[in-house]
Copies of this chain bind each other. A is one copy, B any other.
């Protein structure tokens, strides 16, 4: 159960005083399963680092349907403020899908982080990796069938399939639970 500072080896890039200041902006806390951390429309959304458990971010469309944008198991960072941009309707909710231990980076922390002239390489590298995941997801959504996307999900996140309910997997894949059920039946029978 490593902390954000450990996970990204951020200490190595800072003077002890700076490190101290950063750490003072990080609050550790426990959240219960189902607890909502961030509601759509809240300003200055916080950022969360998951030490234990699993969070998710999702949007809700006009019909009330949830669309899961990402799962954040141990070691992941999750936030909604990536959407603070021109033409930005799609804001996100964040909640805990398991009882979790998290670190919360508040507004001051983010401001301080954003003011520093350079960004530690490991943080940047993490972002590049995340981008690759998003890129891949877009290409899959554009060119692959629901079956192919499901198989890709299973291969990419083998542990998640055991940890989250099917309806959430369906929501992540962009299909209905009924359609996922049909696909799983197909796989269980011959059609692999």
The answer to whether B135 touches A69, judged by C-beta atoms less than 8 angstroms apart, is: yes
Q: How many residues of A contact B (CB 8 A)?
A: 43
CA distance A120 to B120 in the complex (A): 9
Give the residues from 120 to 143 in chain A that come closer than 8 angstroms, CB to CB, to chain B: 120-121, 123-124, 127-143
CA distance A121 to B156 in the complex (A): 31
Q: Count identical subunits in the complex.
A: 2
A17: interface (CB < 8 Å): no
CA distance A133 to B83 in the complex (A): 8
A82: interface (CB < 8 Å): yes
The answer to whether B130 touches A131, judged by C-beta atoms less than 8 angstroms apart, is: yes
Stretch from A20-28, A111-119, A183-191 forming part of the interface with B: A111-119
The chain A residues found within 8 Å of chain B, CB to CB, are 13, 59, 61, 65, 67, 69, 82-85, 87-88, 90, 114, 116-121, 123-124, 127-143, 152, 155-156, 174
